Structure 1
Amino acid sequence: MGAGAEHKLVFVDRLPATLVHLRHGASHDVLACWFSVDRSTITRAIGAVRPLPAARHRLSRHRKTHRDHRRDRGPGAPPGRRA
């Protein structure tokens, strides 16, 4: 019914496969053997998971925390006073 083939690897398997590939340089063929799936499935899984940490980082950089607002007082401003 959907627009593509069903994922043969659930997210909890796609994430470790991606991390092992990025951290240790394991080839897609080795990962496919470990997870008992086709190499193309590993390639798709890594392609889907890899952008997630970068997207999370971009979002978190735009949020200001209470501590960030305190830093906005300006350089050299004494603590507790606004610039």
Structure 2
Amino acid sequence: MNVLTTLKALSDATRLRLVGVLSRGEFTVQELTTILGMGQSRISRHLKILLEAGILSVKRQGTWGYYRLAGGNSLLGEIWPSL
């Protein structure tokens, strides 16, 4: 992914909060809605943007999706301590 895509994905406060939560482990959409106190559609929209930017990955198990930080985004690894 390119730098602009990553930075655009991280330019939203909700997405930064999601990345912060997901930096601590894997979570389902249901768990994230509880943690952040937001609706499922809003969380899912932000997760999609982060997935497309290569910031997150998802592991599917049946009907559940477990979201986590993707290991391959070197830019995120470099700038995350500053965020």
Task: Tell me which interval the TM-score lies in, with the shorter structure as reference length.
Answer: 0.3 to 0.5
**Higher RCO by CA contacts (8 Å cutoff, separation 6 or greater):** 2
Give TM-score scaled by structure 1 length: 0.40
| Structure with the largest fraction of strand | 2
Q: TM-score, normalized by length of structure 2?
A: 0.40
